[in-house]
Chain A
């Protein structure tokens, strides 16, 4: 009758059924077949990657949770289109995560959270003008459009043509956004010129 809830050993027990127990391809096949255990193992091995990517792009842990949930719930069906192996899976799921996060940003169902930490850092900056922001704080202060382009280019490694395609903007617009993001970041981080 008790509600299922994670226990400290829960994730570890999932992780223990790693590559030794079955090949990676078998795990994907079982996931496609609807094996929740196999999906859980994929969550253990790649959940952090997906969540981290979504967290960076959305700027919100709550939104990143939604993105990660969306992705993993739909992963069994999506995997039918994935023919690669273990070596290419990281890149594939990372791109899926980027797509999913961008869809989330576009869908208008973001939670529009005001980061308490962000506000705190702003206050601190007012009080201590010489104190530099961290890169995370600085990214938080960029507009979503600028932050997204910067992260896609610098962290996710997309070309401007791909970013333009992903975001539905022109290549020139993507380049301009990147330059502006860099300029703002440099200013925020205390650049000299």
Chain B
């Protein structure tokens, strides 16, 4: 650089070196003499020194408070205490790190305070210490082992002579049902043992674990009164270990999928999820599931809020992506985990990337179909219809995954819908056959709502079968959550909906008399299911009655149908007017609906009382031990 008098300025490096020297030494150098007489170079030197001062003034980030827990767990393992001296050789860390990690994991495994029973009172804070009524030993049972269970019963249960331990064993991750509400059979559990009363008033028993044990979801049932104990939570979960009593990744992943309440449509057990995720992070720090395992996405619920514990998920995703994507031959487990991780950070393009790879490389994996169908659905939601070609290109992969999957899975509904929406005639026919063979109520309702004519017969068949069978509680099985009574009520509700669809379908077939009978069945079932104003059943009944020329019955049905809605809800009145035409009597209709509402009120009040009593009982269980 050239100075104002044509004199050469020192280079930046020279000024940088000058800035490090003491003033006395520096002044004697050529650069020092130049700087003394050059204001612009003095400015540069000041700037250089200012950089160091600014860096030293950077605010220090405090250590995360949870870091101590990791340190404590690791430090209590004697083998972890390798010395590190200030003069230790650089580069010796990797092997030590591996040893330390193993040591930390082993230590944490034997620590008693691991997430084993998850008891989460909804009203308590995340960190609240809770003593569970149900305890068991050993704390991390091994497959094929025996667990001793103790239960400190709430007051209302203490006069019982025996209690039933009801449970459902978790399947491997990715195979646990996620839509319990539509699949009553998935909400069923086995009687796993009997708890008998001991001298001290508590109950005890044993639980024999199968050889493929991963985790089990438990509830306690009082069989005489047919009431479940939930300890303020929905159920308990025991997470298993390996034969060496080290934490089992498979167990943790399976437990992460278990819903505390099978009937809940929420991810309603944030404590459980965060505890399981915490364990994953603690025991398997490099596993993405530790930060991301979740089957839901796009839902701003407690689960995600609490997972802020694993902050900077995007950065971790980025890191894992760099590490994993270039690798060939990744196992299905890891690919699926990355699908879940991408869901967690709400990146549909990334979901598609990993799901596509899973379907291509491991079509036989039972999660491949669901992951791909779900990913395509996300693409579908976010892209214009004109981009349907990109979805169409994946239909063969869906086909392959369906053919390769050893068991039907939850992806079927989404795959079916995509095939119907984007496939050619042959594809649609193929998936229709699969739907008939592997159908569920969810599938057939979806197809019915699309008024997809070729499927109607198989839909009707499916509905008829399901309508008959759905509430047949298999011998020896019990509901996992809620009493048997509640379970049956829910079944009846689904049965009523099935008959309602059947009635509509039969009427389309010009068989009004049978449609009327099916609508009657729907009304009966819906009432048994606790639906005080089964409007849908009455609507179907009204249409069938009209088809038979029975206007008076239809008018009555339309009136009762309105009872489910407030008097100000005009569309129902309009609907009756359209169907009845000149025979519609507005005054009589309004008065009749008002009367029907009053008639339904005792049923509504009774249902409210039942809910209140249940809540009070649960509150009593909670209050008794705090």
A residues adjacent to B (C-beta < 8 A): 1-7, 10-11, 14, 34, 36, 39-40, 43, 47-52, 55-56, 61-62, 64-66, 68-78, 80-81, 92, 95-96, 99-100, 102-104, 106-109, 111-116, 135-136, 139, 150-151, 153-155, 166-168, 175-176, 178-179, 182-183, 185-186, 189, 191-193
Contact = CB atoms under 8 A, between A and B. Distances in A.
A112 B114 CA distance: 30
Contact of A154 (B51, B92, B114): B51
Contacts of B90: 99, 102-103, 106, 166-168
B67 A99 contact: no
B63 A48 contact: yes
Interface of B: 1, 12-13, 16-17, 40, 43-44, 47-48, 51-52, 54-56, 58, 60-72, 74-76, 78, 80-88, 90-94, 96-97, 100, 104, 113-117, 119, 127, 129-130, 132, 135, 139, 275, 278-279, 312, 314-316, 318-319, 322-323
Given A72-B71, A175-B17, A193-B44, A77 B279 contact: no
Given A47-B67, A70-B100, A179-B17, A104 B93 contact: yes
Nearest to B276: A3
26 contacts: A1-B119, A3-B114, A4-B113, A6-B66, A7-B127, A36-B76, A39-B75, A51-B61, A51-B64, A55-B61, A65-B64, A66-B97, A68-B63, A69-B74, A70-B100, A73-B74, A73-B81, A74-B100, A76-B81, A77-B83, A77-B84, A81-B83, A139-B55, A154-B55, A155-B58, A182-B16
Nearest to A60: B315
A180 to B, nearest CB: 8
A34 B152 CA distance: 38
Nearest to A110: B319
Contacts of B323: 112
A111 B58 CA distance: 23
Contact of B63 (A50, A112, A179): A50
A5 B278 contact: yes
A99 B84 contact: yes
B85 to A, nearest CB: 5
A191 B72 CA distance: 46
B55 A155 contact: yes
A106 B84 contact: no
A2 B130 contact: yes
Contacts, number: 218
Contacts of A80: 83
Nearest to A113: B315
Contacts of A167: 90
A109 to B, nearest CB: 6
Question: Closest 7 CB pairs between A and B?
Answer: A52-B60, A77-B83, A51-B63, A154-B52, A103-B93, A113-B315, A179-B13
Contacts of A168: 90
Contact of A78 (B85, B127, B130): B85
Contact of B113 (A3, A7, A48): A3
A178 B92 CA distance: 26
A99 B93 CA distance: 10
A185 B51 contact: yes
A182 B54 CA distance: 12
A182 B47 CA distance: 9
A50 B76 CA distance: 20
A31 to B, nearest CB: 10
B12 A1 contact: no
Contacts of A109: 93-94, 97
B564 to A, nearest CB: 44
A183 B44 CA distance: 10
Contacts of A6: 65-66, 68-69, 127
A135 to B, nearest CB: 5
Given A7-B127, A65-B64, 4 more contacts: A3-B275, A65-B63, A109-B97, A175-B17
A29 B85 CA distance: 17
Contacts of B116: 1
A11 B40 contact: no
Nearest to A92: B86
A97 to B, nearest CB: 10
B47 A191 contact: yes
A178 B13 CA distance: 9
A46 to B, nearest CB: 9
Nearest to A192: B43
Contact of B40 (A102, A103, A150, A193): A193
Contact of A69 (B12, B70, B139): B70
Nearest to A178: B16
A155 to B, nearest CB: 5
A71 B69 contact: no
Nearest to B64: A65
B100 A112 contact: no
A63 to B, nearest CB: 10
Contacts of B113: 1-4
A32 to B, nearest CB: 10
Nearest to B135: A1
A49 B318 CA distance: 28
Contact of A107 (B44, B85, B94, B315): B94
Contacts of A179: 12-13, 16-17
Contacts of B17: 175, 179
A61 B63 CA distance: 9
Nearest to B323: A112
B88 A103 contact: yes
Given A5-B69, A47-B67, A155-B56, A113 B319 contact: yes
B312 A113 contact: yes
A99 B90 CA distance: 7
Contacts of A135: 51, 54-55, 58
A106 B47 contact: no
Contacts of A106: 90-91, 93
A61 B60 CA distance: 11
